[in-house]
Amino acid sequence: MNPGLSTADIGRFVIDEKSFLGQTLKLGIEFNLLPENAADALRMYLQTHTMIFGQKNRTGIAIGREELEQGVFQAMACLDLGLVDQSDGDANRGAELLATGDFESVRKRGWEIAFFQLEEMQQEARLFPKRRESAFLQDYAAPVRRWTHTAPETWLCTDPEEEDGPTIADPVREYGTYRDLMLKIDLLRSLPGDALKRFGSAAGTRLPFTDLLRNLVLSLSLELEALLPDPAQITAFTGLLTAEGQYAQVESMVTSQLSEQLGSDADEEARGRFLAEVREEMQDMVLLSSETLEDTFVRLPC
């Protein structure tokens, strides 16, 4: 088994400042909300938990390194999830929880969250191929396949198409990808069905989301009702992107309309990532020549 996500050494604990757990630990020590040996206490807990995990899950007499790596990775992910949940994402409250030294209750809560997230992802992955929106989201085909083959109880993905499998799922990172996917499904559902159908017919294939996004940005910029532009409309859009002083206004208009289209119930973190993706795609468009940009759109049949 290849853990695929972590080569963590159980003999040391490295603060990952990208995780809520790592940020809370670092800030807690820095502002004297935690003792200076807080990282040592957490490291000792991880060592103890990982050895117990390895003993329970070993396949032979000896405890293999792979079992140890899986144990420490899962424990750290569960601590991160549990700490976010029990502190409501407040670092000060998180530091208070860590200061009690009751890491096990935080980990158990995190394990519950991870189980239900992986189960939710697995259920949606099985429905995904049947959704009409999936035709425009083929860049998610690989993670969706992974979720189908991932056991929520063990986090192990046994996808037969993965050469290095089985691998360990990451419920923190992969659930973020899942939330991004669900937001885009909701966005596609909010678009007129006839417009999507015509776009799909013109494209003639199953596409990554970016291919549809470019057409959607153009339509919103020109306030069109359809997703398929004609040559004159593509020229007009190119002019908007390159006109002096116009780009910022166009970007703001497009992102505002898309944010409204998503509605107030949309996942805020996923919304932020999506709008950043839109801005990045628009910035990439500006760098293309007019001829190259024209070729990136799915257009009305001649």
pLDDT in tens, the chain (302 residues): 444 333 445 444 455 677 899 999 999 999 999 998 898 899 889 888 887 775 665 554 445 566 777 888 899 999 999 999 999 999 999 999 999 999 999 999 999 999 999 999 999 999 999 999 999 999 999 999 999 999 999 999 998 888 777 899 999 999 999 999 999 999 999 999 999 999 999 998 889 999 999 999 999 999 999 999 999 999 999 999 988 889 999 999 999 999 999 999 999 999 999 999 999 999 999 999 988 999 999 998 76
Question: Position 205: which residue type?
Answer: T
Q: Reduced to 3 states, what is the DSSP secondary structure of residue 100?
A: coil
Encoding tokens for residue 1?
């088994």
Instruction: State how far the Cα of 167 lies from the Cα of 288, in Å rounded to an integer.
Output: 39
Q: Residue 179 CA to chain centroid, in angstroms? A: 6
pLDDT of residue 77: 93
pLDDT of residue 190: 96
Number of residues in the chain: 302
pLDDT of residue 162: 82
pLDDT of residue 59: 53
Q: Reduced to 3 states, what is the DSSP secondary structure of residue 149?
A: coil
Instruction: State how far the Cα of 6 lies from the Cα of 215, in Å rounded to an integer.
Output: 39
pLDDT of residue 3: 41
pLDDT of residue 62: 40
Place of tokens 């291919």: 211
- The widest CA-to-CA distance across the chain, in whole angstroms, is 72
Burial string for 232-262 (b: 16+ CB within 10 Å, else e) reads: ebbeebbebbeeeeebeebbeebbebbbeeb
Q: Reduced to 3 states, what is the DSSP secondary structure of residue 98?
A: helix
Q: Reduced to 3 states, what is the DSSP secondary structure of residue 6?
A: coil
Instruction: State how far the Cα of 272 lies from the Cα of 277, in Å rounded to an integer.
Output: 9
Other CB atoms within 10 A of residue 287 CB: 9
Going from N- to C-terminal start, the domains of the chain cover 20-179, 203-295
DSSP 255: H
Which residues on adjacent β-strands are paired with residue 167?
Answer: 157
